[in-house]
Amino acid sequence: MTGTANGTRKPVHLAVYDTLADWETGHATAHLARGGYAIRTVGPTTDPVTSIGGLSVRPDLALAGLRPEDSSLLILPGADLWDTSDDLAPFARTARAFLDADVPVAAICGATAGLAREGLLDDRAHTSAVSFYLAATGYAGGERYVETDAVTDGGLITAGPTEPVAFAREVLGLLGVYEGEVLDAWYRLFHDSDPTAYAVLEKAGAA
């Protein structure tokens, strides 16, 4: 089973840092938690950080203490800091360590630019807000850019800032929380408000 050690699921790590876009990962983390994954927050240090929405978060651990072998997935939300400084570059380097260790990474919004600068999108299919946003980083992966809501290429998930539900769909599918018609119904319910999807989820015990 993905993300298990001695029969126990390893936690999912959610990166948190000042100016993080707090609306981008809520669908993913909520349903990962409902699916049995512990969510642990990881910050630059264990000092509190403040989101764009003014939420104060005290990280469970500092980035220096995070090891790929202790995690099922690293989630990188967007943040103003991805575009205004190099402060978050260590998180992109950690993403490289995760992918090198075959532990998946999910990046949304500005975090995709951070991965582009790290060279992690040069050889992987990916998406973001718009292609020219990533092109401005000077990365070499423009030909692998896909105009769609979210992309999974191996162990890497990417999405743009307007697609938190599609981002969550890819995360939940990758970790096997929901699959097949249940995953599709989950997406239709939360993205399209499709009332027929609820019956599928209820039947599967996922409502």
What is the tens place of the pLDDT at every residue in 40-87?
A: 999 999 999 999 999 999 999 999 999 999 999 999 999 999 999 999
pLDDT digits (tens, 9 = 90+) for 115-131: 999 999 999 999 999 99
Mean pLDDT, rounded, of the chain: 95
The yes-or-no verdict on residue 6 having pLDDT over 80 is no
48 flagged as catalytic: no
Catalytic residue among 66, 99, 106, 109: 109
> Residue 12: which of 67, 73, 53, 55 has the closest Cα?
73
pLDDT digits (tens, 9 = 90+) for 177-188: 999 999 999 999
Q: At 23, is the pLDDT very low, low, confident or very high (cuts 50, 70, 90)? A: very high
Residue 127 CB: number of other CB atoms within 10 A? 25
Spatial distance between the Cα atoms of 48 and 44, rounded to a whole number of angstroms: 10
Spatial distance between the Cα atoms of 121 and 131, rounded to a whole number of angstroms: 12
Q: What is the pLDDT of residue 1?
A: 34
| Both structure tokens of 116 | 């582009």
pLDDT digits (tens, 9 = 90+) for 132-177: 999 999 999 999 999 999 999 999 999 999 999 999 999 999 999 9
Q: What is the pLDDT of residue 206?
A: 86
Q: What is the pLDDT of residue 5?
A: 44
In the block, tokens 């699916």 appear at 35
